[in-house]
Structure 1
Amino acid sequence: MAYHSGYGAHGSKHRARAAPDPPPLFDDTSGGYSSQPGGYPAPGADVAFNVNHLLGDPMANVAMAYGSSIASHGKDMVHKELHRFVSVNKLKYFFAVDTAYVAKKLGLLVFPYTHQNWEVQYSRDVPLPPRQDLNAPDLYIPTMAFITYVLLAGMALGIQKRFSPEVLGLCASTALVWVVMEVLALLLGLYLATVRSDLSTFHLLAYSGYKYVGMILSVLTGLLFGSNGYYVVLAWTSSALMYFIVRSLRTAALGSDSMGGSGPRQRLQLYLTLGAAAFQPLIIYWLTFHLVR
């Protein structure tokens, strides 16, 4: 009986000779320099060597320390100059509002004739925040009203088939420039009149920005009821804003008794207040009449 070539006489299987391992597809680079072809160092090794050499150089350490001190000093100077012109704490004061204050303030801007006490309240020689004092000026309402006015202007121009990004940008920039010019004129007037008060640029910016509320109401009424409704609301909001500005500046800038004075300084202060109030309807009309047709 013949046997298969892979088995012996007793039927046992012979062990096959092990085949040689196939050559590796990639060289082992875990050994560092020796595994690189040509004896070149591993990538990044020269960079690490240069960094270590730089850190170990005393002159480099001194230069880095000197550069860090200059950067820290420059940062402190920038923060100092920034706080000099824009105080973050003062800016937070003008945004310390709540829903109840915003609702009451909007009602006061639209109908201020029944309001009696216009003096800003103080606590330990510090003015109360707007959410605790209705007479305190704020920047929240002017900021939101400005944004609303820009959006409303875009909607009005779109209804009239006159919308374009250039025209909308022109409306926003014109409204902003008018407020800045008004604030600068008030600062110059207060300086020339030598008025001693606690009014800052933020106060004047808040009082000047309240006109956006009347502008929004005028444009909305014009879009709903035409030009006749626009002029009626324009007259009402303008007169209300004039009354609000006169009473607010009388107590905030001129004092409660200065309006009754007879000296030249008191008369100049009176003219300044009345001029600032009388200028409001002109700006409101100039910024809104082209939106209503």
Structure 2
Amino acid sequence: MNYSGTHSGFTQQANMRLRNSSMDDSDGSQLFENTSGAEVGPQAGYRNQQGGPPPAGSSGHSLLTDPMSNLAMAYGSSLATQGREMMDKNLDRFIPISKLKYYFAVDTLYVGKKLGLLVFPYMHKNWEVSYQQDTPVAPRFDVNAPDLYIPSMGFITYLLVAGLALGTQNRFSPELLGVHASSALVWLVMEVLVVLLSLYLVTVNTDLTTIDLLAFSGYKYVGMIVGVVAGLLFGRTAYYLSLLWCCAAIFVFMIRSLRLKLLSEAAAEGRLVRGARNQLRMYLTMAIAAAQPIFMYWLTYHLVR
């Protein structure tokens, strides 16, 4: 009897130990699940990304960073605005952007009339530029007004025609075309500078600006294009004939256009001074007009063979 009671006591103690151990395991697993499930939020995400707890005072750091970044952006935008205004002011001092808009105010009708005037200037009667409240009207309203659209397009077209001519002669190369472009540009700039120096030495008071001189000097590209295209299509004889016609046309055009510009102040001077300066102005006008055919031949003769 004693043995059986003792055995039953041991059995009850063993069962209690197994039950306690299972309860401990279940409590441990429940504790682990609760702690892992409790970290669902910004801090838990931060800890998972960084591999540790979020730094202390992170919310305060973000509050301090946002105002500083906004202040830096505002300061940078103000500096950019000031720099752009300063650049526009200094650029307009050397390159009058506002005035350039006037020289590109053209339309298709004006371009057609001006091209016809450059090739056939003999029948044109009125060469005076129209004014409205002491300001010349836009080129699209007056065919006599100088523009930069035709000279700039003529320069580009001349380079394209030169490349075509070199290609038909198996002499085309990007380097050679670049030499032609730089040569034409350098001669144009030198021509304008020489005219400005001559006007300064002769002391001519005129409203002829540097951009006007650039426009008038750029009109010769129209005749150059006509001569080269005629030479490519019909041979060298056609080149000489068409270039001769265009040279005579540009000479007449320059004489009649610049004569009004350079002699506009002659009426306000005395008779003796007016007579002496008129001769100088006429010589200068004829020199500028005579230089156009020379440049036209110099820049095109090697393109037609």
Where on the TM-score scale, by shorter chain, does this alignment land: which range? 0.7 to 0.9
The whole-number CA distance in structure 1 between the counterparts of 2:249 and 2:50 is 87
Gaps of 5+ in 2: 1-32
Q: What aligned pairs does 1:1-293 form with structure 2 within 5 A after superposition?
A: 31-36=44-49, 38-39=51-52, 41=54, 49=61, 52-53=64-65, 55=67, 71-255=80-264, 263-293=275-305
Q: 1:223 to 1:56 in 2, by over 3 A?
A: closer
Gaps of 5+ in 1: 1-22
In the alignment, residue 229 of structure 1 is paired with which amino acid? A
Q: 1:72 to 1:164 in 2, by over 3 A?
A: same
The whole-number CA distance in structure 2 between the counterparts of 1:28 and 1:92 is 65
In the alignment, residue 147 of structure 1 is paired with which amino acid? I
Q: 1:256 to 1:233 in 2, by over 3 A?
A: farther
Q: 1:279 to 1:72 in 2, by over 3 A?
A: same
Q: 1:175 to 1:29 in 2, by over 3 A?
A: farther
In the alignment, residue 154 of structure 1 is paired with which amino acid? G
Contact map agreement 2:266 2:274 (CA 8 A) in 1: no
CA RMSD of aligned residues (A): 3.2
Cα drift, residue 124 of structure 1: 1.1
Q: 1:91 to 1:36 in 2, by over 3 A?
A: closer
Cα drift, residue 36 of structure 1: 4.2
Q: 1:144 to 1:54 in 2, by over 3 A?
A: same
How many residue pairs get aligned? The number is: 263
SS in 2 for 1:122: coil
What are the superposed Cα offsets for residues 152-176 of structure 1, whole Å, 9 maximum, x if unpaired?
Answer: 1111111111111011111111111
Contact map agreement 1:118 1:135 (CA 8 A) in 2: yes
Higher mean Cα deviation, 91-100 or 31-40?
A: 31-40
Rg larger for:
2
Contact map agreement 1:120 1:127 (CA 8 A) in 2: yes
Q: Percent identity between the aligned chains?
A: 56
Q: 1:92 to 1:41 in 2, by over 3 A?
A: same
Contact map agreement 1:183 1:201 (CA 8 A) in 2: yes
Cα drift, residue 79 of structure 1: 1.1
What are the superposed Cα offsets for residues 211-247 of structure 1, whole Å, 9 maximum, x if unpaired?
Answer: 0000000001111121111111111111110111111
Cα drift, residue 34 of structure 1: 3.2
Contact map agreement 1:218 1:231 (CA 8 A) in 2: yes
TM-score of the superposed pair, with normalisation by structure 1: 0.79
Query: Would you tell me which structure has more helix in proportion to its own residues?
Result: 2
The whole-number CA distance in structure 1 between the counterparts of 2:121 and 2:128 is 14
Q: 1:229 to 1:28 in 2, by over 3 A?
A: farther
TM-score of the superposed pair, with normalisation by structure 2: 0.76
The whole-number CA distance in structure 2 between the counterparts of 1:276 and 1:55 is 65
In the alignment, residue 258 of structure 2 is paired with which amino acid? L
